[in-house]
Copies of this chain bind each other. A is one copy, B any other.
């Protein structure tokens, strides 16, 4: 069970924006810092701009900054944005027909309860918590 690459990149983009704050960050800087494809990051930054988590800047230099305070960005919400669904199981077969047991099967409920426990933990943390060792993290990135 892995986070999608999209969630992973979203978290890294926001963390770098938070660490650079109040300065702007560019997609190229994030790509270089984390060894991530620029192509994937463009989509992530665009979407985080639309959802208000980033403020994107046009014109000379461009780049982006956090769209709201790090304390107001829940880790759970970022992961929710990046996962297609909060369900950890898809109760269909190869042809997307529902599983024959679906109407009477308790498995989905158990897995939903487990996923809810995971998101409850993520919701208890904000981006600010991920940036707590700020000076060490900035030093590590050479900021």
Which chain A residues in 114-131 approach chain B with CB under 8 Å?
Answer: 114-115, 117-122, 125, 129-130
Which chain A residues in 78-94 approach chain B with CB under 8 Å?
Answer: 79, 83, 85-90, 93-94
Residues on B with beta carbons closer than 8 Å to the beta carbon of A133 = 104, 106
Query: What class of interface size applies to chain A in its complex with B?
Result: 35 or more
Binary CB contact string for chain A from 35 to 62 against chain B (1 if under 8 A, 0 otherwise): 1110000000000000000000000000
Give A residues with C-beta under 8 Å from B.
1-4, 7-8, 11-12, 15, 33-37, 75, 79, 83, 85-90, 93-95, 97, 99-101, 103-107, 110-111, 113-115, 117-122, 125, 129-130, 132-133, 136-137, 140-141
